[in-house]
Structures are given as structure tokens and as C-alpha cells.
Amino acid sequence: MKKFIIFLLIVLAGIQFIPVERSNPPIKQEMPMPNNLKEVLVRACYDCHSNSTEWKWYSKVAPVSFLISYDVKEGREHLNFTEWDYHSMKEDKIKEEIWEEVLKERMPPWSYRIFNPKGKLSDEDKRIIREWSLSR
């Protein structure tokens, strides 16, 4: 048992040296949106869906860092509010998609909500997203 713990500690120390991508590229074009919506999205979505991720201290500790870095990479690839290709994106469709993820409580992911209370959407937050998703 003791040997195993020592082995584990060595592995944990070792993986700290594996490089992790943790950058915030420059903001290109932000999605046009009303201020009240922006407040909600910045708080609950921007850590994964923008180029202004707030990298917390635990995002620097492996193996948690691997998971967070992966989430941010995936999140940005799917939807990036700060690299908004307004013309090529079907705006109505993306609005619907966002509302659906929020309604079904798939976004923000539960794993994020546990560590980030700010990611928990209130009824008022949801109402703001819903209202915007219906606006044309």
C-alpha cells in the first residue's frame, strides 16, 4: 500500500510537466447581443465558448487541467461568441440550439456547475436567453 501511494505521488508529480494548452487568443468579432444577455453568457458560457476564458488555479493542476483544457478546446470549436462569423452562421438556428441546450440543462455542463456556482442559471437568466432566442 505504501509503495502504491509513493508510486501514485510520483506519477502525479510527473504529469505536471505535460504541457497543457491554456491560451486566450485575441477576440476577433463578438456576437452582437443586448447587454442583459451578455451578462449571462459571459458569466455562464464564456469560460468555454469564448477567447476570454478565466483559467482558475485548478486548471493548472494535472490531471484536472487536461479535462478543462479539452473542454475549452471543444467548446470553442463548437461555438465561440468571440469569433462570430455572423454571415456564415444561421442565426435563427444557433439561437434555437442555445435555448435547447439551456432548457434541457445540458449547458453549462453539470461538471462545470459543480465547481462554478456562477454557471448555475437562474429563472431570470433563462428568461433572458429565451426572449433573445425568440427575437428575430
Grid coordinates given for 54: 478565466
Grid coordinates given for 75: 467548446
Contact (Cβ atoms closer than 8 angstroms) between residue 95 and residue 133? yes
Fill in the per-residue mask, 62 to 81: x = in contact with ligand HEC (CB under 6 A), - = not in contact: ---------x--xx--xx--
Using the rule CB under 6 A, is 31 a contact of ligand HEC?
no
In whole angstroms, the minimum distance from the beta carbon of 118 to ligand HEC comes to: 10
Contact (Cβ atoms closer than 8 angstroms) between residue 16 and residue 58? no
Backbone angles phi, psi at 29, to 5 degrees: -145, 120
Q: Which residues form the interface with ligand HEC (CB under 6 A)?
A: 44-45, 47-49, 71, 74-75, 78-79, 97-98, 101-102, 107-109, 112, 119
